[in-house]
Amino acid sequence: MAPAVAPPDGRWQRGRAVGAVYLADSEESVWAEWYRLLAELAVPPHRALSRDLWRLRVGLDVADLTIEARLRRVGLDAPAPTRSEWPRFQAVGARLHTEGWAGLAAPSGARPEGLVVCLFRRGVVLRGVRRLPPPRRTEAVPVPPRGMTT
């Protein structure tokens, strides 16, 4: 039997400790985060398509770190589009997970006016999240959104 592979790391969690699903508040924020990841991995955008965009309804209690004052209260500045700062953010995410939060909402590191939600996974099924069909399939490289930082 092959060893289990840990979920990937993200800004707010270490995969070997807890898995997570990342969501965004808008299509622009989704694409900004997608472009940031592809730039980091040196993957041309056309190689990472096609994609299905889903709208979701989240009915979970998440920690609200969406304003700068709340980020500062937990020792963080507004996120920047770089992995070098992830360990500090992951420490905060680990603390929130340990405290029993389902996840957190915070500013996007790839699009400062956007928001992301990190939902901690506690199993295969993500309870408290409902898909709102239909998804929208994207086959062509999207236009980079305004306000994106990479």
pLDDT by residue (tens digit) across 71-125? 999 999 999 998 999 999 999 999 999 999 999 999 999 999 999 999 999 888 8
Cα separation of 129 and 31, whole Å?
A: 21
Q: Does 5 fall in a domain?
A: no
The pLDDT of residue 3 is 54
Q: Does 148 fall in a domain?
A: no
pLDDT in tens, 45-86: 999 999 999 999 999 999 999 999 999 999 999 999 989 999
Q: Does 6 fall in a domain?
A: no
Q: Does 101 fall in a domain?
A: yes
Q: Which domain holds residue 69?
A: 20-138
Q: Does 2 fall in a domain?
A: no
* Confidence band for 136, pLDDT divided at 50, 70 and 90: very high
Give me the number of domains the chain comprises.
1
- Of 102, 92, 98, which is closest to residue 123 (Cα–Cα)? 102
Report pTM.
0.92
Q: Does 7 fall in a domain?
A: no
45: left (phi over 0), alpha (psi -120 to 50) or beta: alpha
The pLDDT of residue 1 is 55
Q: Does 104 fall in a domain?
A: yes
141 has a pLDDT exceeding 90: yes
